[in-house]
Structure 1
Amino acid sequence: MPTMPSHALALVLLLLAASKAASQGVCIDPRPSSAAAPAPPTSNTTNSSAFRTNVLTLLNALPQAVAPTGFASLSLGTGRDRAFVRGLCRGDTTPSQCLADMQASVIDLRGRCASNRSAAAYYDKAYITFADTNDTINLYYEKRSLNALYDVLTVSDPESFDRTYNVLMKRLVARAASEGGNTSAMFATGEAVYAPSDPKGTMYGLVQCMRDLSASQCDWCLQSLVPVLPTCCYGYQGGVARNFNCLLRIQIYTFYDLALDAPPPAAPTPGSPDETRRNTRLQHVILAVAISVGTLFVLVVVLACVRRQRKRIKADKEQQDNAGEGLNYISLQVLRVATSNFSINNKLGEGGFGEVFKGEMQDGMKIAVKRLSKDSVQGFGELKNELVLANKLKHKNLVQLLGVCLQEKLLVYEYMPNGSLDTIIFNSEKAHQLDWMKRSMIISGIARGLLYLHQESRLKVIHRDLKPSNVLLDLDMNPKISDFGLSRAFGGDQSMDVTKRAVGTLGYMAPEYAYHGQVSTKSDMYSFGVVVVEIVTGRRNNASLDDDTASRSLLSQVWEAWSAGSMEEVVDPSLGRGYPKNDVLKCVQIGLLCLQEDPSARPAAWEVVLMLDSPSMSMTMRTPTRPAFCFTQPGVSNPTLSYQSSRPRGAITSQQLPTPVSGNDVTISDVEPR
């Protein structure tokens, strides 16, 4: 029986059982053996409970992170307890199948390799690794995690099989690692015939790399695996070779979707000199005809594309016009009765779009009716956008749309008896209604609402105007995000867009959005960070813009207090001294992380929810740097924007801002096509 190379003897091989397919894993001993390359300097020889806890936490979050794209790389912790976890689904799996495979794999792996600092687990269509370093592209990890399996049956022509295998692997490796190809997938399949007269004379191959590798690293990793099967398993019908960063598989039967295969290159047919000359003349004739036909074909294609684009625009318009389908339509007469004919006594508030009235239906249910003002110049586009999104978004931390009346452009929402968050936290007479437990619950609820908008809903939605006045509170002080008039929905894998002009409220807009119109989920996370600071302090972030006597911005004061480890000077006085100081410091640290100048340094919504829900996370969270829009110069009443841009640095007044913003709590909107 063939044997594995000597360096593989140092591995601890586990035969794991997944729910649908056999799997195998390697728990890597960080101490190098005489046959292995030296261990990386960051690798530790003993495990710790903190490191293991970080690994388990990341494994729990891995399936949801991997499913949308098929790959995710997560990290958690600091110093020697920092853990790095990666998950990869085979390139031919659907998101739903990927999610199921990952969930089953995580359940199985949680009970394995508990005492190891590194591990690699292979399943049928899922692949998981964890380590105490992200520098795993080296001989140490590749050799100590090398693993090969092979079929017990042999082929009829081993030499032809071996030659064809090398040719096929060369082609697949080049495709998977080609910088001119689809390197984001780093996945390739293909087939080749090694025995034409044999019914089983076709081999099928698959190669795949972890997607955090570069093209050259993927090529190096796969090239190191190609010789493994011919060395250990010569003459057998197929097998699998895997290490820490890539894998390959060869079989004489299909095990993937053949539609993924690229057509094999056609072999040239030799001919005589006379045939060559005739073929040359024929090629000239064909070329002349092809140029004429090709020109006509291009014109036809261009006209077809223009026509298709016009149809698509028309279909999109009809889809938006029919966005209210499936809603509860309420007659104008019913709403007039419910609101006492829109009496001023029932008026709850007013914005750029129009007015909001309180009402009560015949069955006793209380409602809030948003009516578009006849004099509004910006509200119709917002109201239409809100109808499109609110009809599709359903979550306990979003205000629920109950119905619509098209006669006067009215939207009917559930009534929030405690009003908006700003009417309580910024009111010294009402602020005592929110003790620290309620404030912590509100912060967590807003984060969960953003998580739904950014990741869990059918659409990826960027709110673009998150602030306390757009957070409503129900009878039990549960928060619900409202007002989707300025929101923007992304489709597919889109994660960022650039708007011609930014819209929103000064004090809550991220610097990259205010200056350059770059809107993304991280723009909402910046706004969330401001809201967290305001909930803790009971003060408006933009209050200093209206107060000429203010010498320091709210963000500056909170940053300095957190850096000093004491929040007593900035915490809302209505909380008294009975609040849990560690919880307050933790929430402020999360808020400051969301206020980082670099969007990539801000945590995503799912990370914030994880940090808020994990009591032990405060010891492993990243340390924030000074937040954006933070100034400490005495006597400055307008902030110096710290975001690096093409404009010179300096104090900028609201009249000098390059985008329309509002210095108070009223949203300024710039209507543009969505």
Structure 2
Amino acid sequence: MFYFVSFADTNTSTPYEQKYRNEMYNTGEARDKGAFENTYYTLMTRLAARVVNGSGDTAPSSLPEAPMFATGEAVYDPSVPNGTIYGLMQCMRDLTAAECEKCLQDSVPRLPSCCYGNLGGVVLGYNCYLRMEIYTYYDLKLDPPPPPAPAPSNFIGQRADNSSKEEDIGYVEPEQLNLAVLRDATDNFSEENKLGEGGFGEVFKGTLQDGEEIAVKRLSQNSSQGFQELKNELVLAAKLEHRNLVRLLGVSLQKEKLLVYEYMPNRSLDTFLLDPVRRHQLDWSKRFTIICGIARGLLYLHEESRLKVIHRDLKPSNVLLDADMNPKISDFGIARAFGGDQSRDITRRPVGTLGYMSPEYAYWGHVSTKSDMFSFGVIVLEMVTGRRNNSAYDSAVDSVSVLSHVWDKWRPGLMTDVVDPLLTEWGYPESEVLNCIEIGLLCVQENPVDRPDASAVVLMLSSPTSMSDDRPAPSRPAFVFSYGFTTESDRPRSGAWSSDGVLLIGNNKQPSTATVSENEVSISELQPR
């Protein structure tokens, strides 16, 4: 807090006092300085109006006594933890409302002028005071009560004023998406309309009165994670739009937390991979279309959208299929969004699905676009083989992951052996399928630096006939626990491979170059302290 002690032989402010300003600022800078500055001006204009008249809708001269003090906040970046600006303004109480307004108007532009984009600062004047930070430094009880909340049923669509400012993104309420209508559309969330469920809640099919089909996600009322997922989904829904992303139509917060999506009649990709009957519908043309669509969706998220978005839970159940079997990536509840040049982060609590999580994310919480590319590689190999990665490949012999099986066949050049037998029956373009196998292996490499990014994958998929010589050969995938031999006579009961391709565990009494435990369960690696 700052104090002024002054004395003079007059009660009138001198020109020097009126002009005096001293700026101090924080050294940290906003990632999106333009959005930060726009939010700063919006907040300070609102606070200045409240300082001189309390509500902002009355001329200063018409009020006998001005409050001379105001605090408030405004969000400038909802994708970051400290994305809120907290502002405070105050005038000397011996000023008139008009004098106070003039003093604040002169102070507000000083911070952007001296320190554009800095995350906090103070402007000191003889007669008024201004401060803004990205953390709370005053009692939040001083903030005025929030404006009357709109009806809790909302529709995400065009802004009411058609403005282009990011902070003006909002929701307008259509009658057709209130809670009563959604209950009626889903037959009161009946089991017959239930499409599936997950850790955050259930998903139901619904039909509006005009015949439009929708999907309604009903978040669990007892899950705090569900509320965080809803907030994340709404923030990203306002900023992301692509033909390979599922469109969020609206949200209802009336008694229950409900998200309304476009309906995808063919449901999710995993329903085809898990169902032997439905898998017959996936000829190679459809599978290749799905692979390419997912790649284009990731390219948009990683490189072409307003924010760099990492999905963090890409898997077949989060890839939905429309009536024409076009894929759309869904469920952005745990996605991470970055601005500027940032492309990686570290989290203490990795979330996702085993079998699709990259090793650096599962073990150390390292989040990057290459984490999504690992998940994409797993899906590609599942599409080619027709099998799930996190299930046994041949339970009669051993539990072998898809990555292990494909790697064992790729090394001796037997890649066609991993192709789904259904595709073999129907016939398929060999060069295109082999290209996808190689892309899948490139994406699941253990070292994230070696994995291609989304733009490189889209380019490789567009040239299926060119197995380019300058394309690096895939290295050993992560999480490979495999046979290590290519014939039944040579195959040990089980095995695991080291990073350099040496068999670590096996019953064929081959010498091992690594120290291993005797129970064939864990691998002991000696590391210096």
> How far has the Cα of 1:551 moved from its partner?
4.5
Tell me which residue corresponds to 1:468: 316
Matched, 1:614 2:463: yes
Matched, 1:594 2:438: no
Q: Which whole-Å deviations, capped at 9, do the CAs of 1:98-122 have from their partners, x for residues lacking one?
A: xxxxxxxxxxxxxxxxxxxxxxxxx
> How far has the Cα of 1:411 moved from its partner?
0.6
For the structure 1 residues 571 and 426, does the alpha-carbon distance in structure 2 shift closer, same or farther, using more than 3 Å as the test? Answer: farther
Quote the Cα distance in structure 2 between the aligned partners of 1:373 and 1:342. 13
1:349 aligned to which of 193, 196, 205 = 196
Quote the Cα distance in structure 2 between the aligned partners of 1:476 and 1:612. 20
1:439 aligned to which of 269, 274, 287 = 287
Quote the Cα distance in structure 2 between the aligned partners of 1:564 and 1:501. 39
Quote the Cα distance in structure 1 between the aligned partners of 2:301 and 2:456. 14
1:326 aligned to which of 160, 166, 170 = 170
> How far has the Cα of 1:522 moved from its partner?
0.4
3-state secondary structure, aligned to 1:392: coil
> How far has the Cα of 1:548 moved from its partner?
8.8
Task: List, as ranges, runs of 4+ consecutive aligned residues in structure 1 with deviation greater than 4 Å.
Answer: 304-307, 311-315, 321-325, 545-549, 633-637, 639-643, 648-651
Quote the Cα distance in structure 1 between the aligned partners of 2:395 and 2:413. 27
Q: Which whole-Å deviations, capped at 9, do the CAs of 1:166-218 have from their partners, x for residues lacking one?
A: xxxxxxxxxxxxxxxxxxxxxxxxxxxxxxxxxxxxxxxxxxxxxxxxxxxxx
3-state secondary structure, aligned to 1:527: helix
Question: Structure 2 regions of 5+ residues with no counterpart?
Answer: 1-112, 114-120, 157-168, 484-491, 501-513, 523-529
Tell me which residue corresponds to 2:404: 556
Question: Would you tell me which structure has more helix in proportion to its own residues?
Answer: 1
Tell me which residue corresponds to 2:252: 405
> How far has the Cα of 1:641 moved from its partner?
8.6
For the structure 1 residues 588 and 305, does the alpha-carbon distance in structure 2 shift closer, same or farther, using more than 3 Å as the test? Answer: farther
Quote the Cα distance in structure 2 between the aligned partners of 1:468 and 1:563. 27
Quote the Cα distance in structure 1 between the aligned partners of 2:430 and 2:198. 37
Tell me which residue corresponds to 1:603: 452
> How far has the Cα of 1:560 moved from its partner?
2.4
3-state secondary structure, aligned to 1:597: coil
For the structure 1 residues 411 and 307, does the alpha-carbon distance in structure 2 shift closer, same or farther, using more than 3 Å as the test? Answer: same
3-state secondary structure, aligned to 1:569: helix
Quote the Cα distance in structure 2 between the aligned partners of 1:337 and 1:447. 37
Question: Does the Cα contact within 8 Å between 1:628 and 1:641 map onto a contact in 2?
Answer: no
Q: What is the one-letter code of the residue matched to 1:587? A: C
Question: Does the Cα contact within 8 Å between 1:353 and 1:383 map onto a contact in 2?
Answer: no
Question: Does the Cα contact within 8 Å between 2:230 and 2:333 map onto a contact in 1?
Answer: yes
Q: What is the one-letter code of the residue matched to 2:463? A: S
2:366 aligned to which of 495, 518, 524 = 518
Tell me which residue corresponds to 1:483: 331
Quote the Cα distance in structure 1 between the aligned partners of 2:394 and 2:359. 20
> How far has the Cα of 1:427 moved from its partner?
1.4
Normalised TM-score (structure 2): 0.60
For the structure 1 residues 335 and 458, does the alpha-carbon distance in structure 2 shift closer, same or farther, using more than 3 Å as the test? Answer: same
Quote the Cα distance in structure 2 between the aligned partners of 1:491 and 1:444. 26
Q: Which whole-Å deviations, capped at 9, do the CAs of 1:543-569 have from their partners, x for residues lacking one?
A: 039959525322121122223333343
> How far has the Cα of 1:631 moved from its partner?
2.0
For the structure 1 residues 389 and 649, does the alpha-carbon distance in structure 2 shift closer, same or farther, using more than 3 Å as the test? Answer: farther
Q: Which whole-Å deviations, capped at 9, do the CAs of 1:582-608 have from their partners, x for residues lacking one?
A: 111100100101011111111000000
Question: Does the Cα contact within 8 Å between 2:283 and 2:423 map onto a contact in 1?
Answer: yes
Question: Structure 1 regions of 5+ residues with no counterpart?
Answer: 1-258, 260-296, 657-674
For the structure 1 residues 536 and 343, does the alpha-carbon distance in structure 2 shift closer, same or farther, using more than 3 Å as the test? Answer: same
Q: What pairs with 1:217-616 in structure 2 (closer than 5 Å)?
A: 308-310=133-135, 325-327=169-171, 329=173, 330-407=177-254, 408-544=256-392, 550-577=398-425, 578-616=427-465
Quote the Cα distance in structure 1 between the aligned partners of 2:397 and 2:379. 23
Question: Does the Cα contact within 8 Å between 2:221 and 2:257 map onto a contact in 1?
Answer: no
> How far has the Cα of 1:495 moved from its partner?
1.1
Q: Which whole-Å deviations, capped at 9, do the CAs of 1:279-332 have from their partners, x for residues lacking one?
A: xxxxxxxxxxxxxxxxxx99x9xxx999613269999xx9xx999653454211
For the structure 1 residues 573 and 499, does the alpha-carbon distance in structure 2 shift closer, same or farther, using more than 3 Å as the test? Answer: same
> How far has the Cα of 1:387 moved from its partner?
1.6
> How far has the Cα of 1:456 moved from its partner?
0.5
Q: Which whole-Å deviations, capped at 9, do the CAs of 1:430-456 have from their partners, x for residues lacking one?
A: 111010011001000000000000010
> How far has the Cα of 1:382 moved from its partner?
1.4
Tell me which residue corresponds to 1:108: none
Question: Does the Cα contact within 8 Å between 1:327 and 1:391 map onto a contact in 2?
Answer: no
Normalised TM-score (structure 1): 0.47
For the structure 1 residues 404 and 642, does the alpha-carbon distance in structure 2 shift closer, same or farther, using more than 3 Å as the test? Answer: farther
Q: What pairs with 1:78-93 in structure 2 (closer than 5 Å)?
A: none
Tell me which residue corresponds to 2:100: none
Q: Which whole-Å deviations, capped at 9, do the CAs of 1:381-408 have from their partners, x for residues lacking one?
A: 1122112112221000000111111212
Question: Does the Cα contact within 8 Å between 1:360 and 1:367 map onto a contact in 2?
Answer: yes
Quote the Cα distance in structure 1 between the aligned partners of 2:367 and 2:286. 31
Quote the Cα distance in structure 2 between the aligned partners of 1:533 and 1:508. 11
3-state secondary structure, aligned to 1:544: coil
Question: Does the Cα contact within 8 Å between 1:328 and 1:402 map onto a contact in 2?
Answer: no
> How far has the Cα of 1:571 moved from its partner?
1.3
Question: Does the Cα contact within 8 Å between 1:629 and 1:640 map onto a contact in 2?
Answer: no
Q: What is the one-letter code of the residue matched to 2:135? A: R
Q: Which whole-Å deviations, capped at 9, do the CAs of 1:35-71 have from their partners, x for residues lacking one?
A: xxxxxxxxxxxxxxxxxxxxxxxxxxxxxxxxxxxxx
Question: Does the Cα contact within 8 Å between 1:368 and 1:415 map onto a contact in 2?
Answer: yes
Query: Aligned-pair RMSD on alpha carbons?
Result: 3.5
Tell me which residue corresponds to 1:8: none
Q: What pairs with 1:72-83 in structure 2 (closer than 5 Å)?
A: none
For the structure 1 residues 364 and 516, does the alpha-carbon distance in structure 2 shift closer, same or farther, using more than 3 Å as the test? Answer: same
331-340 vs 370-379, which moves further: 370-379
For the structure 1 residues 335 and 311, does the alpha-carbon distance in structure 2 shift closer, same or farther, using more than 3 Å as the test? Answer: same
Question: Does the Cα contact within 8 Å between 2:393 and 2:402 map onto a contact in 1?
Answer: no
Q: Which whole-Å deviations, capped at 9, do the CAs of 1:498-555 have from their partners, x for residues lacking one?
A: 1012111111111111111110000000000000000111111110399595253221
Question: Does the Cα contact within 8 Å between 1:565 and 1:585 map onto a contact in 2?
Answer: no
Q: What is the one-letter code of the residue matched to 1:628? A: A
For the structure 1 residues 650 and 606, does the alpha-carbon distance in structure 2 shift closer, same or farther, using more than 3 Å as the test? Answer: farther
Q: What is the one-letter code of the residue matched to 2:381? A: V
Total equivalences in the alignment? 347
Question: Does the Cα contact within 8 Å between 1:641 and 1:650 map onto a contact in 2?
Answer: no
Quote the Cα distance in structure 2 between the aligned partners of 1:381 and 1:397. 24
Q: What is the one-letter code of the residue matched to 1:610? A: L
Matched, 1:627 2:477: yes
Tell me which residue corresponds to 2:166: none
3-state secondary structure, aligned to 2:392: helix
Q: What is the one-letter code of the residue matched to 2:375? A: S
3-state secondary structure, aligned to 2:204: strand
